[in-house]
Structure 1
Amino acid sequence: MGSSPIEFTHSRTSRAYCRVLYSHTWQVGDVLVWDQRATMHRGTPWPYEQPRTLASVCCSMTDSDGLAEARGLTM
C-alpha cells in the first residue's frame, strides 16, 4: 500500500467524488448548509489573522415529522 490507512481512504474517496466537488468562495454573510451524514467535507487554509466564525446545528427527523417526504421517497 505504501501509505497510511487514512491517506489510502482519502485518495480513494476523493477520486470517486471529484465529479461532484463543490468549492465555495466565501463572502460576508454567506451561509452554507450540507448533510453531515452524506457529505465528505473539509476546510482549507485561510489567513489566520482574519476572524473565522463557524456554527453547527444538528437536527433530525422521524417518520412523524415527514422524513419520507423530505427524502423524496413519497409524493
Structure 2
Amino acid sequence: MHIFFQYPPKYSVSFIARRLKGRSSRLLREKIPELKKWWKNGLWAPGCYHGSVGHGWEVVEKYIAGQDRKS
C-alpha cells in the first residue's frame, strides 16, 4: 500500500504511521468482522517504510498512479 500526503512538521512520521495503522485497522475490523478470524492481534504488519520527498513529488505521484495498472 502506498500513502502519499503532506503533514505539518509538528507531527513525527512515526506518530502519523501509528495513528493511520491503528485507526484504519479498527475501522476495517468494525466494518468487516470476519477479519478478526484471520488477524486476531492486528491487521497491519508491525513495521513500515517511511520516506520523504522534496521537490520531486510529481515523480512519486506518477509512480503511485501507475501501480494500479495490471501487467
Into which bin does the TM-score normalised by the smaller protein fall? under 0.3
Taking structure 2 as the reference length, the TM-score comes to 0.27
Comparing both chains, which one has the higher relative contact order based on Cα–Cα distances under 8 Å and sequence gaps of 6 or more?
Answer: 2
Taking structure 1 as the reference length, the TM-score comes to 0.26
Q: Which has the higher helix share?
A: 2
